[in-house]
Amino acid sequence: MSSPTARPAIEGRIDAWVRAELAGDSDALSGLLHPDFLGVGPFGFLLDRGQWIGRFAAGLRYTAFSFTPDVPPRSVGAAIVVVGTQRQRGDHQSQPLDAEFRATLLLAPGPDQLLTGIHLSPRYPPRTGRLPTDPS
């Protein structure tokens, strides 16, 4: 990170995102996500800004949600990259979504530091030992 004074602002932005996800607050997420936001789910699916915000209207509910940086935020050009662990408990249309992911957050340059992208990867293999696309 190029500026030690930038770290509290980045942490504040991430904390606001965590609170919005936990609360299912679509309005707050609207103010935090960049217009060109793209989310990559843990099994490779892609969600644009509208789809990411719309997850809550489609039945997503969290009872717990956290993000812990695993390494200090890094400046890459003008953008900020934060790699950490996302832990969540909740459900989507009564299907449990309890999980832990490696999460990479990309924040846009500028005073608003809007969240431009999220990429989630499973921290642990599925309990069955098979990937969801495994036909056997």
pLDDT tens per residue across span 39-74: 999 989 999 999 999 999 999 999 999 999 999 999
User: How many CA within 13 A on the CB side of residue 52?
Assistant: 28
User: What proportion of the chain, given as a percentage, has pLDDT over 70?
Assistant: 87
pLDDT at residue 125 in the model: 67
Mean of pLDDT values over 97-110: 94
Tell me the β-bridge partners of 118: 39, 105
Question: In sequence order, what are the residues at sequence separation of 6 or more whose Cβ sits closer than 8 angstroms to the Cβ of residue 117?
Answer: 37, 38, 39, 40, 104, 105, 106
What mean pLDDT, rounded, does the chain reach?
89
pLDDT at residue 5 in the model: 43
Mean of pLDDT values over 83-108: 94
pLDDT at residue 126 in the model: 58
First to last CA, the chain: 46
pLDDT at residue 116 in the model: 97
pLDDT at residue 129 in the model: 52
Residue 4 scores a pLDDT above 80: no
Residue 105 scores a pLDDT above 90: yes
Residue 9 scores a pLDDT above 90: no
